[in-house]
Structure 1
Amino acid sequence: MKDILIITSYFPPEIGAASNRIFHLADGLQKRNYKVSVITPLPNYPTGRLFDAYRGKLKQTNKENNITTHRLWIYATVSKNKFLRLIAMLSYSYSLLWFFTFNKIPKTVIVQSPPLLVAFTSMFLLRSKKRKLILNVSDLWPIAGLELGALKKGFSYRLLEKIEHFNYKKAHVVLGQSEEILTHITSIFPEKETFLYRNYPDFEAPEIKYHKQEGKLQLVYAGLLGIAQGVLKLCQELDFNKIEFHIYGSGAEQKEIEAFIESNPKLPIYFHGRVTRKELHQVLLQYDIAIIPLLNRIYGSVPSKIFEYAKLALPIIYFGGGEGETIIKEHRLGWVARVGDYKHLNSVISKICYTEISTTFKEQIKEAAICKFDFNTQLDQLQDLL
């Protein structure tokens, strides 16, 4: 039985795409007879506060689903203050340093990036000719930070670029969730071995449910309510003549969204809060269309919701540009609106009618997900690199 260590900043019971991606990777590997261990911070995402069950602890080790999980201390915050966010990343890096010093580390290690500094700590301290380091890149930093407006070009940006390049250089294999990510990496290190590892879901596709064929279209958003997603902007810009808008999740914009709904009681916007992923899958089946927005196009980003919603046979309006837009069009998963163009988004929505959201259309979406976005096929191919 081969030992594999996964180092990540997100893991259940935390919610979100990053947490789900790493859990399914760990669970899939242990089902293939690998001895899997995970290092992760004490749960705190996305609230920025340690979950109640973990407060007052410096670390905790437990075993669930045959996965040994080491939860380490972190200074938890979701503050927009860059200094505090840096402290949070450095605190986890400090915990990793202590863990590496006093524990035996397997010969194969998968490191999640971003955060860049956490990945750098792992790649720097664990580099060895006898150890295989696999870097799993889900977003391109610092490029994404620049496009989101969180970073500006200057000394700190150049420093982060050096850290980014160091991480790629020390990795024996780089996994990327998009073709754009892999193209970026091979432009820097042409000989680097890479593998396209998308965030495909690992659950049984449910039966398709019948939907009403009258009234307003029920549009749903589910996920992180962060600045990048721009859900508050959607609430402000959507034309509600034909739709009602349902929101699930939590994050930095939550209070502003709730305040907007309270101050505009006549708008058909409904905030349902946060639910578990299992509950969400059942809830989503009652809606007509899901929307996947990004406030700005982010190079390298492919929202994992595309693959999850497809497996739920839920038609998608994609409002994020880039590679995700190509996937929606290629596999006919729904509709595309130009990123940042709310007039075009409203125009696209206004032309959708119930006859388009047919059982046949949903079956076609589900079939595409099963055939093209299969988690187990992808993981079987990844095994050859481990």
Structure 2
Amino acid sequence: MHILFISDNFPPEVNAPASRTFEHCREWVRAGCRVTVVTCAPNFPRGRVFEGYKNRLWQREDISGIQVVRVWTYITANEGFTRRILDYLSFMFSAVIASCFVRRVDVVVGTSPQFFAAFAAYVAAAMKRVPWVFELRDIWPESIRAVGAMKESRVLDWLEKVEMFLYRKAAAIVSVTHAFRDTLIRRGVDAGKIHVVTNGVDTDRFSPLPKDAALVEQLGLAGKFVGGYIGTHGMAHALDTLLDAAEIISKEPGGDRYRFLLLGDGANKKALMERATKEGLSNVVFVDSVPKDEVVRYWSALDVAIIHLKRTELFTTVIPSKLFECMGMAIPVLHGVAGESADIVAREEVGLAFEPENPAALCEGMRRLSRDQALYDRFRGNGPQAAKRYDRSVLAHEMLDIISGVVVR
């Protein structure tokens, strides 16, 4: 079976869509499938092409047996709604054109967010007269409303009509959460074609590690209790909450014991750094994005991982993929996301949930986990065992079964 996968994120980018797509495609190749990924030159989130790549009309490479076709796009940083839409549209057109040159395809998969990549998959599949599968990672454009990136307008109404069109036309929809599936069913999408394959973790890469002593010393974290956020610094993540918590805890007796580490890039990073400097938050350490192979070193430097999203109803339906990476590395989490993912934290006993955008609650979680060694050790011990239930290779084969099912109908 030849799978054509269309995604505008792929390694060496290190965000969740890139990791999930690569790890699934790698497993499908190992299972004997031929896999071609159409993507763009790696540039997320800074909007600058990674070293060693160029933004050309067409580039090919082989990554772990996956045939990767990179196409030209209008590249911009992950900020500014109009420019991002131009980025998305340019990828859609380039991906459709590139797909014409990928021969003998049996099925096309398109992934969101943004659903212009999914629309490209629909068009490519229609041209090739093969089924297509919609991998639903986000309810988009509803998430635009949720973070306030765009005011209510006819454009958003039109995008929602396109969204519903894609749901109807897909041979199968693979949702990353049960809540997304329930939402689609309420909106009238055929329940029989909606499947759930959650995010997971590559347990070979994300496993317990001792603290990297050299890195801890380099970052000035020796002897400190470190709470860290690793990921995109965007509007959806409301990371000012972490700075608020850093300010609160720094003024408490013994507050110098705590440090907050923020690693990554995104639309709000500059503003966060400027605020920390202006307010003299010396207990906050900022680190730029690092290569994928380096990320685990920084995870190892953390005592607890902070997972956080803006407080909005939509985000109660998401499950941040970094939760499973923390499980694999035996790092207890402070989970500032309500809903389905908080239920996983409680059920698996891998950390404490706190109310999103509540810095006092975040501080309380930091204090509790730093003082209650028995509780901390229990969360650490539960993590790797829980991670086995979300092993990426197992989940990849579940998705492959779904894809195979639409091909043989």
Q: Establish whether residue 259 from structure 1 lines up as the match of residue 274 from structure 2.
A: yes
Following TM superposition, by how much is the alpha carbon of 1:301 offset from its aligned partner in structure 2, in angstroms?
1.6
Amino acid in structure 1 at the alignment position of 2:152: K
CA 367–211 in structure 1, closer or farther in 2 if over 3 Å, else same: farther
Q: Establish whether residue 27 from structure 1 lines up as the match of residue 26 from structure 2.
A: yes
Alpha-carbon distance in structure 1 between the residues aligned to 2:13 and 2:44: 6
Contact between 1:144 and 1:299, CA under 8 Å: does it hold in 2? no
Amino acid in structure 2 at the alignment position of 1:189: V
| Residue aligning to 1:311 | 328
2:296 to 271, 278, 281: 281
Amino acid in structure 2 at the alignment position of 1:350: R
Q: Establish whether residue 272 from structure 1 lines up as the match of residue 325 from structure 2.
A: no
Alpha-carbon distance in structure 1 between the residues aligned to 2:364 and 2:329: 25
Q: Establish whether residue 229 from structure 1 lines up as the match of residue 247 from structure 2.
A: no
- 1:71-109 Cα offsets, whole Å, 9 max, x none, are 000000126433222211111122123223444351211
Contact between 2:245 and 2:362, CA under 8 Å: does it hold in 1? no
| Residue aligning to 1:180 | 179
| Residue aligning to 2:62 | 63
Alpha-carbon distance in structure 1 between the residues aligned to 2:397 and 2:66: 19
Once the two structures are superposed, the pairs formed by residues 80-229 of structure 1 within 5 Å of their partners are 80-104=79-103, 106-127=105-126, 130-187=129-186, 188-204=188-204, 205-207=206-208, 209=210, 216-229=224-237
Once the two structures are superposed, the pairs formed by residues 1-40 of structure 1 within 5 Å of their partners are 2-40=1-39
Contact between 2:207 and 2:384, CA under 8 Å: does it hold in 1? no
Following TM superposition, by how much is the alpha carbon of 1:280 offset from its aligned partner in structure 2, in angstroms?
1.6
| Residue aligning to 1:250 | 265
Amino acid in structure 2 at the alignment position of 1:269: V
| Residue aligning to 2:384 | 366
- 1:310-332 Cα offsets, whole Å, 9 max, x none, are 01010000002121111111111
Following TM superposition, by how much is the alpha carbon of 1:26 offset from its aligned partner in structure 2, in angstroms?
0.8
Alpha-carbon distance in structure 1 between the residues aligned to 2:358 and 2:280: 25
**RMSD over aligned Cα atoms:** 2.3
Which runs of no fewer than 5 residues in structure 1 stay unpaired? none
Amino acid in structure 2 at the alignment position of 1:94: F
Alpha-carbon distance in structure 2 between the residues aligned to 1:64 and 1:107: 21
Following TM superposition, by how much is the alpha carbon of 1:37 offset from its aligned partner in structure 2, in angstroms?
0.7
SS at 2:108's partner residue?
A: strand
CA 322–346 in structure 1, closer or farther in 2 if over 3 Å, else same: same
Following TM superposition, by how much is the alpha carbon of 1:265 offset from its aligned partner in structure 2, in angstroms?
4.0
TM-score (norm. length: structure 2): 0.87
Specify which structure has the higher proportion of helix.
2
Alpha-carbon distance in structure 2 between the residues aligned to 1:226 and 1:97: 29
Which runs of no fewer than 5 residues in structure 2 stay unpaired? 214-221, 250-254, 405-409
Contact between 1:172 and 1:192, CA under 8 Å: does it hold in 2? no
CA 284–186 in structure 1, closer or farther in 2 if over 3 Å, else same: same
1:332 to 343, 349, 369: 349
TM-score (norm. length: structure 1): 0.92
Alpha-carbon distance in structure 2 between the residues aligned to 1:210 and 1:255: 28
Larger CA deviation: 93-102 vs 159-168: 93-102
Alpha-carbon distance in structure 2 between the residues aligned to 1:377 and 1:122: 25
Alpha-carbon distance in structure 2 between the residues aligned to 1:271 and 1:259: 11
Alpha-carbon distance in structure 2 between the residues aligned to 1:359 and 1:315: 9
Alpha-carbon distance in structure 1 between the residues aligned to 2:55 and 2:236: 32
Contact between 1:232 and 1:253, CA under 8 Å: does it hold in 2? no
Amino acid in structure 1 at the alignment position of 2:190: P
SS at 2:235's partner residue?
A: coil
Larger CA deviation: 97-106 vs 325-334: 97-106
CA 135–333 in structure 1, closer or farther in 2 if over 3 Å, else same: same
Larger CA deviation: 290-299 vs 315-324: 290-299
SS at 1:157's partner residue?
A: helix
Following TM superposition, by how much is the alpha carbon of 1:269 offset from its aligned partner in structure 2, in angstroms?
1.0
- 1:146-201 Cα offsets, whole Å, 9 max, x none, are 11112343311211111111111111111111111111122221344122112211
